[in-house]
Chain A
Amino acid sequence: MTFNAYLWQWDMLKALLRKEFLCEWRSFHQLAGLLSFMLAVAYLVYFFGGDVNPKFWNLMYWIIFLFLVFFSATRSFEDDNNRFKIYTNQLASIKVVFLSKALYQLIECVVFGLILLLIMALLLPQKHLEILPWVLILVLMSVGMSVLNTFTAFIASNGQTRQVLMVVISLPLCFPLIGMSFALTIDLLTGQSIFENISKFYPLLAIDFLAMALVTFLLPLTWKN
């Protein structure tokens, strides 16, 4: 591929990403719905949970996070109708389309995770909560999560009951990712230093790379209609 072609793809990616943000902005009510859901559940935990211990706090955080992520990922291939699909296929390669959606998903994941962290840290303060390591774990997890979820959303968009199908097929696949970040954050909340033993991060990184490699291999084979 020549340099110009790369440049063209880069422009394409930027345009598609812009389109995602634009679509999201136009249907702001959906985003607002997700945010109010997040607020409501966090408040519910605050109101009825009382003095929550770190384990419960961690569990609540990731469960609310998963709900948000699944819900927003289901939408990523939903709005594109067939005419739009054909249109984008003529203009851009599927890899670029997928990359734009996954990148958008990644940004959304991290932003949701941060807002949720702020809300929960305000309502239910934890003694050992440190923002920076938490954000690192959140980003590492979101990379794998967004790739996996965009791919499963793409697969589920071929089926009939999209939303149920999406959760059914992606939840077991995401399990190692959830388990790994869960174990890391519980260490953080109970006051252990997670950077002492850097090898704890390897499985998380490995799953991220594995997911990316698999998607690059499978996507061109699955796409063509």
Chain B
Amino acid sequence: MVKQAWWKFLCVGLMLFALSFGLLNPLKHGIKDVSPDRIEAGTKTILTVSSYNAHYLNQAEPITAYLKYNPPSDSKDKNQYLLKALTVKPITDNQAELEFHLPQYLPDSRPLALFSLIVDSPSDGAAAIPSKIIIHQHQPSLEEGIRLWSMDSHPNFHQAKRSLFPYRNILVETIRNTFYHVSLWFAMFLMFGMSVYYSYRVLKFKDPDADLRSYALVRTGFFFGLLGCLTGSIWARFTWETWWTTDIKLNMAALTMLIYLAYMVLRASIDDLDRKARISSAYNIFALVAVIPLIFVLPRLTDSLHPGNGGNPAFGSQDMDNSLRVVFYPAVLGFMLLGLWIASLVYRADSIAASLDERDDEN
């Protein structure tokens, strides 16, 4: 049994791993907010940071914090300008007061400049909040600013001890949905693709069995697509604050669902079994070819909130890091196997029903 159904065991294992590790592994230390975020150069300032998943109170070594200058995008100066906090006073595990003594001049020739805040906690690792703080200077002086902000040696930041999921503002805990939402769509495409192969067999070799297989795969793929919409909708509620947006990828996905709904309507409207198999197979092949430009071409041409579209990177270093990949790839494989498993059960139920029908007809 194990030999024959090894992939089902693999599926269960992968799904259990993806669900347990994906939902339970905590996020890295991150900075939620900092106040005040507008400060004057040349003053002594106390910044209060509120963090996520940090343990500021029980640290063996002292916590350090830095302000980092964000150069404008057209800047040619590749040097890093950092300012170390004078003192770091933890208040609770997730809150600390940082005291900075800001120099009179900034390494920027404009009166206002953007800065990031980095808090380095020895056991939690370093966390940053990018481009959050704006510092104002009265008389810009670039040379003085560069001299005052240059550090003799670059600090070595700590790494988290375990492989934790990255903390991203706005996403926060919902980053885990990557494993499920994206995998569902991948699995859906695998099933639609395989159903096209069986549809081709129906047309080429007049194989009635292949029609049942193709229909089972389409129905399971459709179900996965609906779940993909649902998980995406819940995710959108927490990050974009709406259940549904005019984002092109969402609407193209809805259209994909419509095309496959039409496939089912078409199947239901033809009585003759042989004709039903042939016509719906032709439509199924047509449908997948129509869906590919909808999902993969059109969204890339216009603006979209999804990665990989409208100039956003697809699975670039910004979206995925190794701790996510460890769960993401097994989850994709797990969902694909789960889909095939469900489809095979649907197919077996269908073929039993078909043979029962035949037996009734004979009697």
B-chain residues with CB within 8 Å of residue A225 when the two chains form the complex: 275
Most chain A CB atoms below 10 A, which of B258, B283, B290: B290
B-chain residues with CB within 8 Å of residue A179 when the two chains form the complex: 298
Q: Which of A168, A176, A207, A222 contacts B278 (CB 8 A)?
A: A222
B-chain residues with CB within 8 Å of residue A159 when the two chains form the complex: 266, 269-270, 279
| A206-B301 Cα distance, complex, nearest whole Å | 14
Q: Are B285 and A168 in contact (CB under 8 A)?
A: no
The answer to whether A5 has its CB under 8 Å from any CB of chain B is: no
Chain A min CB distance to B195 (Å): 15
| Interface members, chain B 260-309 (any A CB < 8 Å) | 262-263, 265-266, 269-271, 275, 278-279, 281-283, 285-287, 289-290, 293-294, 297-298, 301
| Interface members, chain A 195-225 (any B CB < 8 Å) | 203, 206-207, 210, 214, 218, 221-222, 225
| A161-B282 Cα distance, complex, nearest whole Å | 19
Q: Which of A161, A173, A222 contacts B269 (CB 8 A)?
A: A161
Q: Which of B259, B270, B271, B298 contacts A173 (CB 8 A)?
A: B259
Most chain B CB atoms below 10 A, which of A155, A171, A210: A155
Q: Are A221 and B203 in contact (CB under 8 A)?
A: yes
Q: Are B286 and A165 in contact (CB under 8 A)?
A: no
The total number of A-B Cβ pairs within 8 Å is 70
Chain B min CB distance to A66 (Å): 15
Q: Are B279 and A165 in contact (CB under 8 A)?
A: no
The answer to whether A175 has its CB under 8 Å from any CB of chain B is: yes
| Interface members, chain B 43-93 (any A CB < 8 Å) | none
| A210-B290 Cα distance, complex, nearest whole Å | 9
Interface of B is mostly: helix
B-chain residues with CB within 8 Å of residue A171 when the two chains form the complex: 258
Q: Are B293 and A176 in contact (CB under 8 A)?
A: yes
Q: Which of B265, B275, B289, B298 contacts A214 (CB 8 A)?
A: B289
Knowing A169-B266, A172-B262, A179-B298, the reply to whether A203 touches B278 (Cβ < 8 A) is no
Q: Are A214 and B285 in contact (CB under 8 A)?
A: yes
Q: Are B286 and A173 in contact (CB under 8 A)?
A: yes
Chain B min CB distance to A96 (Å): 19
Q: Could you give 25 example pairs across A and B, Cβ below 8 Å? A: A151-B286, A155-B283, A158-B279, A160-B271, A165-B269, A168-B265, A169-B262, A169-B283, A172-B255, A172-B259, A172-B290, A173-B287, A175-B294, A176-B293, A203-B293, A206-B293, A207-B293, A210-B293, A214-B289, A218-B285, A221-B278, A221-B282, A222-B203, A222-B281, A225-B275
Give A contacts to B, CB under 8 Å: 151, 155-156, 158-161, 165, 168-169, 171-173, 175-176, 179, 203, 206-207, 210, 214, 218, 221-222, 225
Given contacts A173-B286, A206-B293, 6 further A-B contacts (CB under 8 A): A155-B279, A168-B262, A169-B266, A173-B259, A218-B285, A222-B203
Give B contacts to A, CB under 8 Å: 203-204, 255, 258-259, 262-263, 265-266, 269-271, 275, 278-279, 281-283, 285-287, 289-290, 293-294, 297-298, 301
